Amino acid sequence: MAPFRPVGEKARWRQVDEFVDKNKKPGELITFREIQDLLDVRRSVAINVIFQVKIQREKAGKPTLVNQRGAGWLLARPDQELDEDARRHERLLANVAGRVRILGSMQTRRTELTPEQQRTLDFRTSQAAAQATVLGSRKSSAAEILGMGGGQPAVPITAPRQRADDES
């Protein structure tokens, strides 16, 4: 079997990322055809490459790409990135709700599980409940969630772990 060979000198996602940086401004559309012509690939390949571009741009702190059904991707402005985050948050909420439902259903039949499986179920149920609590807020800003700007002081989400020898 032949060793892996790259398609070209530079990764496809990197080529597209450079194209976007040079030719697009936030709020502008990147079409399927532009990516297909740039890379000389089929539409399905362009979709896979743009998904990689999106991930790499987010990791690098660059504006993300938002899918525009049937047209391509939008190089997002900051307000559009907030909208994208809200969409992703709603999807997370739906997934957590589904998880809570299945675990709740399993609780009604927990006698059918071994003791080890029951402990796993209990652990996962408490995990799902915590996720639902943390993700369940539909507040519009982090400041609202943390109580800033209101009458109450902000509460840290995590606290430093106490060691036994730190107690006084």
CATH class of 12-75: mainly alpha
- Residue ranges per structural domain of the chain: 12-75, 78-136
Per-residue model confidence as pLDDT tens digits over 130-167: 887 777 655 545 455 444 444 444 344 443 445 555 54
Instruction: Report DSSP state, residue 141.
Output: S
Buried b (16+ CB within 10 A) or exposed e, 41-76: beeeebbebbeebbeebeeeebbbbbeeeeebbbbb
Per-residue model confidence as pLDDT tens digits over 14-60: 999 999 999 999 999 999 999 999 999 999 999 999 999 999 999 99
| CB count in 10 Å sphere of residue 135 | 15
- Please give the model's pTM, rounded to 2 decimal places: 0.64
User: Which pLDDT score is estimated for 99?
Assistant: 84
Strand order in the sheet with 29-31: 29-31, 72-75, 65-68
